[in-house]
Structures are given as C-alpha cells and as structure tokens.
Amino acid sequence: MSTLLACDSLSMRFGGLVALDQLSLAVNEGEILGLIGPNGSGKTTFFNVITGIYQANEGRVDYLGHDLARMSAQEIYRAGVTRTFQRSRLCLPLSIFDNLMIGNHRRLDHNLWFNLFRRAAFQAQFEEQYAKARELVRTFSASLAERLFEAAGSVNMIDRRRIEICRALISQPTLLLLDEPSAGMTQEETRELMDDILIVREHMPGLAIIIIEHEMNVIERITERCIVLNYGQKICEGPYARVAADPQVQEAYLGTE
Amino acid sequence: MKRLFDPATAVPALVSMAGGTLFAVLFLHAETQSAVMGLTLGAVIALFLLARFGWNARATASFAGHGRVAQGSVLAGVLIVTAVFHDQHFPLLMLATVLLYIVVCLGLNLQLGYAGVVNFAGAAFFGIGCYTAAVLTNHTSLPHLAVVFVGGLMAAGIGSLLILPVLRTYGHYAALITIAFGILFRVFLEVNDALGGPQGMKLPGMQILGWKLNDSLQFGGTEISFYANYVLLALAMAAIAFTLVRRLERSWIGLNLDAVRLDETACAAFGIDVARWKITAFTLGNFLAGLAGSVYAMMTGFVAPNSFTFGDSLILVSIVILGGIGNPWGLSVAAAIVLMLPEKLQFIQEYRLLLYAGLVILILLFKPGGLMPRQVRNYLPGWKP
Amino acid sequence: MTLGLLSQYVFNGLMLGMIYAMVAVGFTLFFGVLDVIKFSHGDVLMVGAFTGLATYLGLQAAGADSPLAQLLVMTLVATLSMALLGALIAKYLVLPLRLAPPLNTLLITLMLGSVLREVVRLFYPQGSNPKPYPRLLPADFVSFGSFTLRADSMILLLAGLAAIVAVHLLITRTKLGLAIRAVAQDAETARIMGINFEFIVLLTFAIGSGMAALGGLMNGLYYNEVNFGMGLLLGVIGFSAAVIGGLGNIYGAILGGFLFSALQSVGAVTLPALFPGTSTAYKDVFAFAVVIVFMAWRPTGLIAEKKSERV
C-alpha cells in the first residue's frame, strides 16, 4: 500500500493555544484510518488544516504531489479531498438535490453561457447528475432517494447526516474525512450508516477514509488502523486492539490513578 | 421529457391574470381618493377571501406549472392596460416606470436575494445610469441604444471599485460601503456644476434607429401617447431581464449564489469560489440598474441629484423584501404596489418611506420570507424524474 | 493659517471627534455583545437631541429658566428616554431575530432608523426644518493672543471625555462590566455561569443609546441646531469610525472617531488648497473615500475584529 497523504511536523496555534504540535502522520491509499483522542486533542483542527479552512503555522502535508498546507480550500477539494463537518452544515432552505450538487461542484459546468443559453445541454447534464445522486442516496435510504427535491430542512437529523455524507461522496473523492458521523445516533443507526459507507466504498476503489469518532465500536469494526492524538501530538498508532491496550492512550482518556 | 399542455390546470392562472389586469385598469382609472381607497380595500379583502377558499394555492400551483402561460398572460395584461390608457400620459408613464424599476430590483435581487450581497446604493447605481445617459446624449452623438448599454457598463464599472470591501464576510461591511457610497454619490453630484449641480440636467428624448420615442403615434384615427413607446421598450427590457435572471436561478450558477449566501465555509470546502460569485452577482445587478437608469432618464427628460437618495435605495430594498426575497414574481408585484399606491393615494405620498420601512419591519419579524416566499429551486419546470 | 484659525480647526476637530467617538463606542458595544450592527444608532442620537429640545421647550413654558437646571433636566430626560428606547429596540426587534440570518437584523435596524427619521420629520412640529438649539452653555472665552479657548467647547469636550471614561470604567472595573464582557466573548458560557443574557443585552443597548443621546445633546449645543436628518450621516460616520478602529474594541472606536474627524479636517483644508474652487463639502467625499480605500486594504480595522465561528 502506498502513502496517499503524509503530514510532516504540522503545527497550528491559536494565539497561545497549541492545537497541533509538530504532528506527523501518514494515510495509505484505500485504507480506513481511525483518528481518535480525547476532546480538544486536535482531531477536528487537523481536518480543518488539511482541508484549508485554517492555515498551518508550520509543516507540510504531502498529497499526490501537492502540499495541502499551501493550498486554498477550493484547490484541496479539486484535488479530491472532501469532508463532513462536526456541526451539520447543510443549506437547509435548499433542496436535498441542491445540497448534493454543492458537493458535486467540480463535475458541473459553471460557465455563464452554458447555464443561460445552452439549455438542452444543461438539461442533459442535469438528468445525468440527478440519476447519479439518486443512486448514491439510495444506498443509504431508499425513501430519501425519492425526496430529492424537498427542502433539506424538512428531513430528520439522521437523514441530514446521510445527505452530508453523500454530499462528500458524490464527487468521487480520493480522500474522505468524516468528523464524528455517528454523533447523536443509536447503535443500530450507526451500524447501518457504516455498512452503507462500506458499500459505497466498494464502488470507489482507492477511496481512503479518515474517521474521527468517539464511538469505539465503530472504530473497532471498520478501521484497519488507528492514530491517537493528545494535545496535538500523535501518541500511538496501530490496529485498534493494540491502541486500546496502550497505557499512554488509556491515561490520555482516563487519567492516572 | 415531453411537456404536455394540460389546459385545465392553466385556467386558474389565466383567470387570476385576467382579474389582476381588470383591477389594474380600474385602479389606474380611478380619480377620487375614495374610489382608490375602496378599490384597494376591496382587493385586499378579495385576496383574503380567495386565500381562505384555497384559490390562491391553486393559482400559485397553476403559475408554477405553466411558466410560458404565466409570462404570456402577464405580457398580454400589460399590453391590454397600455391599450386602455393609450391616450393618457400619466398611467403610461407610471407603467413604464414600474417596469424599469422591476429591472433594477431584479438586479438587486440577484445581489441580495441570491448571493446575499448587501447593496444599499441601488438608487445610486440607477443614478449613474441616468447621469451617464444625460452626459452622453448632451455631449456626444452616440446612438441611444449604445448610450443605454454604456450606462449599464458605467454602473457596473463604478461598482467594481467597491468590490473589495463588499467581498468581506460580514454583511455589515458591504452595507457600510454602499451606504457611504450612496451619500458620497449624491454630494458629488450636488457640488459638481459640470453635472448640473443641484438643479440637474435635461435630456433629449430617446431615438432608436430613427424611431423617435418622444413622438406620439397615430394608430387608425386615434392618437397614442408617446409614453406607450417607452412602455413597450421597458416591457421588452423587463421581460428579457426577468427571463435571464430566472434562468440564472434555475441553473448551477443559481445554486452557487445560494450556497455563497447560506454558508461560505461549506462553499470553500466544496470548491465554490465565493469571491467570483459575489462579484458576478454584484456586477450584473449594478449593470441592470444602470441600464434601467439610462432609459428612465431619457424617458423623463431630466435628472437631478435628489432623486437618488438613501431613502430611494431603501425603497428598492423594501420592494425586494416585501415581495419575497429571491422571488422575481413577488418583487414585480411589490414594485407595482410600492410605486403606484402612493401616486393614487395622495395622502400616503408623504408617509411612503415610513409606511414601507414599517412594513418591512413587520415582515422581517413575522413573515421573513415575504408576501410571496421563494420556493425550492425548480431547475426545469415541468420536468418529472 | 493663523494660530487663531488653527485653534478653531483643532477644537472643531476635537469636538467632532468626540461626538463621533461616542457614536462609535455605541456601535462597538452592540456588536461586541450581540454581533449586531444597530444601524438605527445615529437616528437614536437624533431622537435624543430632539427629546432634549422638547424638554427644554417644556421647561421654558413651565417657567423654569435657570440654564443649569434646564441643562441637567434635558440631559437626564434625553439620556434616560433613549436608554429606554435602546432597550425596547433590543427586546422587540433585535433579540427576536437572533437566530435569523444576520442580514435580517441589519435590515430591520436600518428600516427602524428610517422610521425614527420619518416620525420626527412628520410628527414633530415643523419637523422637516432645522431647529435652533438653545444656548445653555456659558459663552465666555479666554484668549491667548489670537488663540481663543471657548468655554462651551471645553465643557462639552470634558463632558464627552467624562462619559467615555465612565463607560470605560463601567466596562473594566465593575461586575456589571465584567458580565457585559463575558456575554460579548461567549454568550452561551456566560449564561451557564448564571449571567442573565437578556438583561445584559438590554442593558448594553441602553447604555449605548444613552451615550448616543448625550452625543445628540452635545451636537445640538455646539452647533446650536438640530435637524431630522443629522442621524444618518452621524450614524454612518460613527459606524465607519468603529470599523476603522476594529469592531468590538472600545479604544479602537474612540481612536476611529478622532481619526475620521481628522480626515475631514485634512480634507477641508487641503482640497481647496490643492484644487482651488472645490467646496468644503468635498471633505465628506474625501473622508469616505479614504474609509472605503482603507477598508479594502484592512477590512477588519486597525485593531482586528473579534472572530467567533466554530468550524
């Protein structure tokens, strides 16, 4: 397995607060990597830095020949990195289809002339994308797939989560970042969601996923490898079983006697 | 997908349009204050009752499902009103003014309603179009169609000077810049004698390829007011602007604009160039305002600084909000009401700004979507999956 | 440029700067506490000035004619009534729209400003004409050669300074001020800590509006005139000043106020010198143009605006 993403001495400071401290880690092509650690350990900050929302103070992030630390969020998306957010960021007044198409930005033609005057061609592109969107959503929920033109605000929280994940998947990324996808869900819903993600992954060979989670069952079940962060540093790495047994990790979560 | 024309479902739209046209004719015809008040109250009560009996919902659905019918019937309605008042200057002047304001407000809607770019200098950009036309028609022999186009370009161009602060994330920066610009613009006009100072400038009437719009027409044996020419021109402009703005909304570009308005962070994360779309909306919107301004100046034959105050910009914004922010049909209806009501109900002329500002406050508190709230995007009307 | 003329300009500039600073502090307070730009602030200033005027006329009619007493009562009535108005605006217009897009709050306060302006124009007797303001301050002055020091200017400057210092002390030295700063930093945590969010918001708006009233009175007393439209320009200037200084920062607002006044003075003096024949009205064009350019360069102001979004 070759390395897809490698960050080297990545640091991120907010004033006096050090969120990422010389962090170095690697993600392999096609793997599912778990990113865990206590609250405030820098997991979401890591996502924000490699997706260009924040600009790192130091370090580099090598990805398919690019340095993500020097790129804008839009450029990073075009390079095939997508994500979900910890707090739901759907455009609720827009339709579900609209929200999905936001995620599909790089597959659409945004030329003024095309959109205004070449309506037949536009219709063809629209129908093609609708079919793709519907098929993707159907993997997660058959009923939701029939409601694509309803407002995103009209569906329940679980469906909104599904829509967000589909939004991140629809452009066929190479690297997908999931930020606490199971938050607020029951065990059953979580298991279903994870299974659906795995099904989609079967159709996208080479898709690597980094998943931030506090729900350890999820990490145990679907990740091949874990990285544990604490205070912005990597403190442990390896398969879940090994990581869970590591005394440093246990101390980070539970403290000492 | 084949679109089948189902006559039955188009009927409510047609009936509504007929009713609206009839009302417009009666309203414009009314002379006494009591007649006007009576008509207005009657209309409000009628609408309320119709809503009760579910007619409004059926009419809305009918309009939504038959775009071509809706547009065609509106065109027909305007032409009918024009024909009825063919020999009276004032109603036709008002009609043309409403149509031109619809063009401006469509532009404002692009900025505010779609892209979420605040612009409190709408009247100033309109004024740029007016003054450009004044200067060009008085000092050059540029053909008038080109003058109109240049008016639009000037508005867009000057607007682009403000673009950098307007792009900033928080709307209040754009608000401040545009308000300051509006004030600046008016002061600049007033102290500048080359542009006529506080008295303003006069303009010759419009002439397109030999067609003198300030000449009244003869049709059969009847004399038609020359304002009818402007009504036709304004109608064409409004129709084109309307179609373009709607097509824009019903496309990936419309989606980008909405996304920019709703969540810039998500936009960035999914590759949407926020600056590009804000600039597009702001520039296009100002262009439309300038275009309308040029025609308006040539129609009225006169420009002066005190027509382009901050209060006027606020009225434009009020039209967009009252009608239903993001809804071009709503803004058209609102424009007609906001502009025509004070002309007919003289006693509210003085209280215009107070009335509209108050209404907007109420709308924002209780019905922020406006009187005709915007619907979910329908890329291809009539299309079924 | 004689010393006398210079001293006039300087005092004028300081006076204006003080008034702008007071308006700017109001803007910055509102933004700090609720992330809200209350566009009606300038018009609240105007209503405060008119309230003072009405009080004066009432006192005159009632026979009370000691200037000091009149001044005190005017100040009291104007400040308290505007404080009340500010709190009402917060409660009924701003707080209900807290969860709506920020655009809505911007719009509603802008429209409210128009309503205030129009109400005064339409319903105050002869509201559309400028109204003379009573001369209640001592007219004495002290001369140092050609340099004159007017007593009324000094008094107003000191009063303004006192108001700003008082607000500063309130914010930094009292428990109430601490609560205001807590809410400004993180409303949710402040609530959890037991601070009554709504009360603090209303109070902040009241304080800001009270200061605006003071500014309105000062404006009226200095220029001996008020008119219904004075709030618009002052509001825009005050907002610009707050932005230059960095929204949310009180010192920045004060700095911005004086900076804007300095810009106007520079414009008024240099433009006619550089381009003979330009009227002094261009000073506003100049000042705003500089503000626009400045905001293009440094949109978050001299001292950075506070950011508060969690991604």
Q: What is the 3-state secondary structure (H, E, C) of A147-193?
A: CCCCEHHHCCHHHHHHHHHHHHHCCCCCEEEEECCCCCCCHHHHHHH
Q: How far is CA C19 from the centre of its chain?
A: 6
How many residues does this entry show for chain C?
Answer: 311
Q: What is the per-residue pLDDT for B1?
A: 43
Chain C residue with Cα closest to A87: C311
- Of B179, B187, B310, Cβ closest to residue C281: B187
β partners of residue C131:
C226
Convert B285-331 into a string of H (helix), E (strand) and C (coil): HHHHHHHHHHHHHHHHCEECHHHCCHHHHHHHHHHHHHHHCCCHHHH
- Of B172, B265, B361, Cβ closest to residue C112: B361
| Under 8 Å between Cβ of A134 and A166 | no
CB pairs under 8 A between A and C: 6
| Mean pLDDT across A119-127 | 94
CB contact under 8 A, A91 and B377: no
Chain B stretch 248-277, residues whose beta carbon is closer than 8 A to a beta carbon of chain A: 248, 251-253, 255-256, 258-259, 262-263, 265-273
pLDDT(C213) > 70: yes
CA distance A212 to A218: 10
Give pTM, 2 decimals: 0.90
CA distance B121 to B181: 7
- How high is the mean pLDDT of chain A? 92
pLDDT(A151) > 50: yes
pLDDT(A145) > 50: yes
Fold category of C6-297 in CATH: ABC transporter involved in vitamin B12 uptake, BtuC (1.10.3470)
pLDDT digits (tens, 9 = 90+) for A14-24: 988 999 999 99
Helix or strand (DSSP H, E) at B150? helix B144-161
Residues of chain C positioned with their CB less than 8 A from the CB of A86: 311
pLDDT(C109) > 70: yes
What is the residue type of C179?
Answer: A
| Mean pLDDT across B317-346 | 89
| Mean pLDDT across B322-341 | 90
Number of other CB atoms surrounding residue A83 within 10 Å: 28
pLDDT digits (tens, 9 = 90+) for C31-47: 877 778 888 999 999 99
| Under 8 Å between Cβ of A81 and A50 | yes
Q: Min CA distance, C221 vs chain B (Å)?
A: 25
Which pLDDT band holds residue C302 (cuts at 50, 70, 90)?
Answer: low
Residue ranges covered by each domain of chain C: 6-297
| Mean pLDDT across C166-195 | 85
Instruction: Classify residue C276 by burial, with Cβ atoms within 10 Å: 0-12, 13-18, 19+.
Output: exposed
| Under 8 Å between Cβ of A223 and A48 | no
SS3 A34: strand
Chain B stretch 83-142, residues whose beta carbon is closer than 8 A to a beta carbon of chain C: 112, 116, 118, 120
What is the residue type of A242?
Answer: R
Counts of helices then strands in chain A (DSSP H, E): 11, 10
β partners of residue B218:
B223
Chain B residue with Cα closest to A50: B269
CB contact under 8 A, C289 and B184: yes
| Mean pLDDT across C225-233 | 89
Through-space distance between the first and last CA atoms of chain B, rounded to whole angstroms? 9
CB contact under 8 A, A48 and C310: no
| Mean pLDDT across C152-164 | 86
CA distances from C19 to A157, B171, C62, C169, C238 (A): 51, 25, 31, 19, 8
Interface of A with C (CB under 8 A): 44, 48, 53, 85-87
Task: Write out the two tokens for C138.
Answer: 């001592």
